Amino acid sequence: MSRTGKHPIKIPAGTEVAVVAGEITVKGKGGTLKRHVHPAVLITVANGEVLVTPAEKSRLAKALWGTYAAHMRNMVAGVNTPFVKKLQVEGIGYRVELAGKQLKLNVGYSHPVLVAIPAGVTVAVEKNIITVSGPDKEEVGEFAASVRAIKKPEPYKGKGIRYEGEVVRLKQGKKAATAAA
pLDDT in tens, 51-107: 999 999 999 998 899 999 999 999 999 999 999 999 999 999 999 999 989 999 999
Task: Say whether 82 sits in a helix, a strand or coil.
Answer: coil
Distance CA 15, CA 32 (A): 10
CB 113 within 8 A of CB 99: no
pLDDT over 80 (residue 2)? no
pLDDT grade for 1, boundaries at 50, 70 and 90: low
Domain end call among 80, 112, 134: 80
Query: Does residue 96 sit in the same domain as residue 64?
Result: no
Domain end call among 80, 106, 134: 80
Residue 149: partners with Cβ closer than 8 Å, 6 or more residues away: none
User: Which pTM does this prediction carry?
Assistant: 0.88
Query: Does residue 71 sit in the same domain as residue 118?
Result: no
Domain end call among 55, 80, 105: 80
Answer whether residue 112 is part of any domain.
yes
pLDDT at 6: 86
Number of domains the chain is built from: 2
Kindly state the average pLDDT of the residues 23-36: 93
Kindly state the average pLDDT of the residues 152-158: 91
pLDDT over 90 (residue 121)? yes
Distance CA 127, CA 163 (A): 15
| E-only strand ranges, the chain | 9-10, 16-20, 23-28, 31-36, 41-46, 49-54, 83-90, 95-99, 102-106, 113-116, 122-126, 129-134, 160-163
Distance CA 77, CA 110 (A): 41
pLDDT grade for 174, boundaries at 50, 70 and 90: confident
Answer whether residue 178 is part of any domain.
no
Determine the structural domain holding residue 91 and report its residue range.
83-163
Query: Does residue 12 sit in the same domain as residue 72?
Result: yes
Query: Does residue 18 sit in the same domain as residue 74?
Result: yes
pLDDT at 177: 56
CA 92 to chain centre: 28
pLDDT at 172: 86
